[in-house]
């Protein structure tokens, strides 16, 4: 049964018990599948993070889903979808669980300093117009343990809250928030509502962070998240730089 209150996001829902990756599957069917389709799986055997990293996605414990979108935008605007998803996920986690979730620019949601959610946006198309865009959202909802190499960096909503989270309630809330922010951006060209959530709940704004770009690492203070959603940082030598999401990872100092 479909309890979604949204109009376009979730117009179609494809559900799996297990799949390699909901983003991979979305890519395989993207051409012939309508805008707004949600692909969701109980388990991913090859869940992916950015830059070829793995995303562990055990059965029945998380929310592993992709949103297939076909907006009329150039690829340069695509990364704004990551921010819209991050804002929607952070706000939904706060509203549904009452946990203090923060956004670690550009694509992580953290609770008590550990990652509960990651977002992977991928797209295909031409220079001036994308064919499609896939927003992959992974939320550790009810995982009760993690492999030991993740213990210090990852957690779940259930671990932090001390009780299980109703995944369906969270998904419905997240999608309705995503649709509102997405439509506001697409129809009016405005990212303001997304940015106010991102700034309000930023885990990095005003903080000293470690920036990892390829195999380079340096320290900087985060001065601003600008109106395009880019991060303005000042390095220790006084130099400033505008970072575009997708090219960097950020760690606490
Ligand atoms: C991300 O990458 O955070 C994006 C994760 C996107 C996952 C969703 S699930 C649905 C859709 N289908 C997919 O195949 N992917 C998307 P990144 O910023 O590169 O972070 C990856 C890093 O997070 C890994 O290198 C690990 O250190 C850590 N990690 C892996 N699994 C994790 C988990 N379940 N929870 C927290 N951290 C994790």
DSSP conformation letters of the chain: ------SSTTSSEEEES-BS-HHHHHHHHGGGS-TT-EEEES-BSS-B-GGG-B----TTTSEEEEEEE--S--GGGTTHHHHHHHHHHHHHHHHHH---EEEETTTEEEETTEEEEEEEEEEEE-SS-EEEEEEEEEE--S-----GGGTTTB--HHHHHTS---HHHHHHHHHHHHHHHHHHHHHH---HHHHHHHHHTBSSTTSEEEEEETTEEEEEEEEEE-TTSPEEEEETTS-EEEEPTTS-EEEE-
Share of the chain above pLDDT 90, in %: 85
pLDDT for 251 beyond 60: yes
- Sequence spans of domains, the chain: 13-200, 208-252
The rounded Cα 128 to chain-centroid distance in angstroms is 24
Domain spanning 208-252, CATH class:
mainly beta
- The mean per-residue pLDDT over the stretch 150-171 comes to 96
Q: Which atom of ligand 1 is nearest to the CA of 44?
A: 14
Q: How far is the CA of 248 from the centre of ligand 1 (A)?
A: 15
Q: How far is the CA of 138 from the centre of ligand 1 (A)?
A: 7
Q: Which atom of ligand 1 is nearest to the CA of 53?
A: 25
Give the pLDDT of residue 246. Answer: 64
Q: Is 13-200's fold the same as 208-252's? A: no
- Residue nearest (by alpha carbon) to ligand 1 atom 15: 48
Task: Choose one of 30, 60, 118 to mutate for the ligand 1 pocket test, by most ligand atoms within 8 angstroms of C-beta.
Answer: 118
Establish whether residue 20 lines the binding site of ligand 1, counting it when its CB lies within 6 angstroms of any ligand atom.
Answer: no
pLDDT for 110 beyond 90: yes
The model's pLDDT over 34-51, given as tens digits with 9 standing for 90+, comes to: 999 999 999 999 999 998
Q: What is the ipTM of this complex?
A: 0.99
Task: Choose one of 44, 46, 50, 55 to mutate for the ligand 1 pocket test, by most ligand atoms within 8 angstroms of C-beta.
Answer: 55
CA-based R_g, the chain, Å? 17
Banded pLDDT at 1 (limits 50, 70, 90): very low
The answer to whether domain 13-200 has CATH 3.30.930.10 is yes
Give the pLDDT of residue 127. Answer: 86
């Amino acid at each position: 049964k479909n309890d979604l209150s949204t109009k376009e996001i979730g117009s179609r829902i494809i559900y799996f018990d297990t799949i390699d990756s909901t983003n991979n599957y979305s890519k395989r069917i993207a051409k012939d599948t309508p805008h707004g389709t949600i692909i969701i799986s109980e388990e991913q055997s090859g869940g992916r993070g950015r830059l070829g990293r793995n995303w562990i996605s055990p059965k029945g414990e998380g929310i592993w889903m992709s949103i297939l979108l076909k907006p009329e935008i150039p690829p340069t605007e695509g990364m704004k979808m990551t921010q819209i998803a991050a804002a929607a996920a952070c706000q939904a986690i706060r509203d549904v669980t009452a946990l203090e979730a923060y956004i670690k620019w550009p694509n992580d949601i953290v609770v008590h300093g550990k990652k509960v959610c990651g977002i992977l946006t991928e797209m295909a198309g031409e220079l001036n117009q994308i064919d499609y865009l896939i927003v992959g959202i992974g939320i550790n909802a009810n995982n009760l343990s993690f492999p030991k190499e993740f213990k210090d960096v990852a957690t779940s909503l259930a671990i932090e809250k001390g009780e299980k989270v109703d995944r369906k309630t969270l998904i419905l809330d997240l999608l309705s928030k995503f649709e509102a922010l997405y439509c506001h951006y697409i129809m009016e060209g405005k990212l303001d509502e997304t940015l106010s959530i991102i700034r309000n709940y930023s885990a990095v704004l005003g903080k000293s962070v470690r920036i990892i770009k390829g195999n380079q690492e340096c320290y900087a203070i985060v001065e601003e998240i600008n109106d395009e959603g880019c991060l303005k940082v000042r390095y220790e030598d006084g130099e400033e730089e505008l970072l575009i999401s997708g090219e960097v990872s950020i760690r606490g100092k």
